[in-house]
Amino acid sequence: MNQFPTKCPICASQRLVVTKFHCPDCESTIEGHFAPVASPFPNLSEEQLEFVKTFVRCEGKLNRLEVELGLSYPTLRNRLLDVIHALGYEPSKEEERPKGISEAERRRILNELDKGNITAEQAMKALKNN
């Protein structure tokens, strides 16, 4: 689904009004004048937003996130780095991802690790060799 625009695409006014909501499941439509609620993090995907909400609920403690989400520490760190990059920030030098590995390949390796198809040692080796 498209992101809600933050300004009018015609005149660039930032005063937009929502006039209709529609539920595709029950075909209900609500009409009126509603103030739009723009996301405070428009650059984040739904998955990243859910991660941020859970991160805040767990007070930023990755060990609690491990339990809550059932993910390994390296996967959580990489998801946090993804959010940091999506927000336009750069982590400190020692936390940067290895150069030369594509995002898709990195995710594939981490997904294999999450599924238990490879060990942490194999994942580290694969991430370092790329």
Q: Tell me how far CA of residue 46 lies from CA of 15, 17, 29, in angstroms.
A: 25, 23, 24
What is the chain's mean pLDDT, rounded? 84
pTM over 0.95: no
Q: d(Cα 125, Cα 40) in Å, to the nearest integer?
A: 37
Contact 62, 55 (CB under 8 A): no
Tokens describing residue 84: 């940091």
Residues 84-120: tens digit of each pLDDT: 998 888 877 554 554 567 777 888 888 888 888 998 8
Contact 83, 89 (CB under 8 A): no
Q: d(Cα 14, Cα 4) in Å, to the nearest integer?
A: 12
Residues 8-22: tens digit of each pLDDT: 888 988 778 888 889
